[in-house]
Structure 1
């Protein structure tokens, strides 16, 4: 049985032998044991069972074959941020809230697809790909809020297509908006309803738009050949050329308390599961190379919704499950963009 929410596999092996993973003592222990990153309180101890579920939505098996990749000799800079190269793509600056659902695999895919549509339209098409449509209708991807597989999400974009649609209650952004409301994952509780008050249920697959005046078929977007990137240099060149990619990390209990700096698992951390994220850049901080990633636990978590993780050593499997494709338009000259 797979736990709901977002992180891969499904078994918790235990917690710290000394302190609870969400306790002030455990957070202090993290900060005492290393200097690369700073931990702080993001969750209450009483939320532990739900937090585990929230980080258990990616399955790391049944990968698609890896096609051959085009290689370039473009020099790789020390620092790169997709938001700086393509500043007019609004989706690049958006942090999602996956709500109480284990939909990280779908949310991070849709966010990355949206970025790539804008990038490959010369920053003209501000289209959001519907995480709702992918989450609810891609049955071969997994089991909705109980987890899914990243490569199958991208393959679904290529073979079936995914309609437009943005964040919760954003009907103006496309065909099917995300129907699960933002909820409070963090402390102190404010602004949003608490996640525990919401019913965990995958939305139904509906081949129709929220607005009856929009046509579902006309709202479909498509991607091209699915690519799997393994080497750090491949991932970097792909981001430089085509935009952010979707990846996944193995989550350990110390990750929930991340606030800033370059995350590296502490020796006291216990493995929890697998979580999908968007990788949008890289850099070096205090001599430590890192990947810049966008999470989907709203802006209250981490560094405004973002985090950095050690680059170049497949830390927490961050370089193992990286996929993306390029959007497919009907006309290569992009003068009159239409989907195939």
Structure 2
């Protein structure tokens, strides 16, 4: 078949599916064609994905590279979901043209904790809690602010710390206020940055600073900027200290979450395409990300922790994740029990 006829049939197929930008690639040169023959449906999927997320590439070479990664990731996602033996589903999201190594380098850069006792550390006051509900979701108590997106900045440590502060203040005062991660990112005394940081350093900053600005007064930019520490505090109650939950102890962690959302470090290496259900299976303990446990429960016979993440509503269950609870490993699933920490009021 001549090239002109090939172009004609490819263009006809793509016109039916509305993939005009693919047709532009097809008609430009045969060597750069992504939307031809058996590739057409995958290319259309890629083009629609680009349009949905507002992505574009600097040149055709980069686009080809990203397309191949996208294609491999989609194959992995579809294979996982078709196996029908998992308790969770994967889905195509905004991270679909990144390798797992690239994804972790961008979005999971929390520092591995190296904890020194300070004057602001308090004892674990929930050890005597005797009864906990079978399920709990702090969102039902107006104690969790909406999901946000940290973007390309590795500021999960600030997001998890601020979310834990927002929640305990709401529980104690009845007033839920979105607070500023940017204030912590710009002004923290340990100079933790978009390259990663420690959750308890964020608590230390809020305590020593005597407050924290609102997200409205000090909005998030996903870039560390110059400190503007002249914004009014929006804390209705002051943070007086913070506590570490007994490490590698899911029973203690359950008692803590029954009283307030808890910030945790976690190994997010397998989280890139999580979509729904209870995440189970192999998972490491190389702590590289910070999230907040905002509840727990049981789904289809599997007990889970409910996690609030900071990768936007397009990831997971509208920004949330269910992670298997009560596993044999003392560290918990993905190391969730290794270093839980929470603020005190």
Q: TM-score, normalised by structure 1?
A: 0.70
1:181-220 C-alpha deviation (Å, 9 max, x unpaired)? xxxxxxxxxxxxxxxxxxxx412212223xxxxxx47879
Q: Distance in 2 between matches of 1:38 and 1:289?
A: 16
- What are the residue-to-residue correspondences of 1:136-151 with 2, within 5 Å? 136-140=186-190, 142-151=191-200
Map of 2:130 onto structure 1: 74
CA-based RMSD of the aligned residues comes to: 2.8
Map of 1:236 onto structure 2: 254
Residue 202, structure 1, aligned to residue 224, structure 2: yes
Q: Distance in 2 between matches of 1:40 and 1:316?
A: 20
Q: How many residues align?
A: 265
1:163·1:176 contact (CA, 8 Å) conserved in 2?
no
- The CA deviation at 1:275 is 1.1
- Please point out which of 10, 23, 27 is paired with 2:73: 23
Map of 1:251 onto structure 2: 268
Map of 1:262 onto structure 2: 278
Residue 39, structure 1, aligned to residue 90, structure 2: yes
Q: Distance in 1 between matches of 2:228 and 2:293?
A: 30
Q: Which runs of 5+ in 1 are unaligned?
A: 1-18, 181-200, 210-215, 328-340
Q: Distance in 1 between matches of 2:199 and 2:334?
A: 16
- The CA deviation at 1:22 is 5.9
Residue 224, structure 1, aligned to residue 224, structure 2: no
Q: TM-score, normalised by structure 2?
A: 0.69
Q: Distance in 2 between matches of 1:101 and 1:37?
A: 28
Q: Distance in 1 between matches of 2:110 and 2:87?
A: 27
Task: Flag the 1:119–1:103 CA change in 2: closer, same or farther, 3 A.
Answer: same
Task: Flag the 1:37–1:154 CA change in 2: closer, same or farther, 3 A.
Answer: same
2:113·2:198 contact (CA, 8 Å) conserved in 1?
yes
Q: Distance in 2 between matches of 1:69 and 1:321?
A: 13
1:37·1:258 contact (CA, 8 Å) conserved in 2?
yes
2:158·2:184 contact (CA, 8 Å) conserved in 1?
yes
Q: Distance in 2 between matches of 1:233 and 1:44?
A: 34
Higher helix fraction: Structure 1 or Structure 2? 2
Map of 2:178 onto structure 1: 128
Map of 2:149 onto structure 1: 97
The SS at the match of 1:152 is helix
Higher relative contact order (CA 8 A, sep 6+): 1
Map of 1:163 onto structure 2: 212
Map of 1:179 onto structure 2: 221
1:73-113 C-alpha deviation (Å, 9 max, x unpaired)? 431222111122x23x4xx1410111221111101211221
Map of 1:52 onto structure 2: 104
The SS at the match of 2:150 is coil
Residue 276, structure 1, aligned to residue 290, structure 2: yes
Q: Which runs of 5+ in 2 are unaligned?
A: 1-68
Q: Distance in 2 between matches of 1:38 and 1:264?
A: 11
Q: Distance in 1 between matches of 2:180 and 2:96?
A: 33
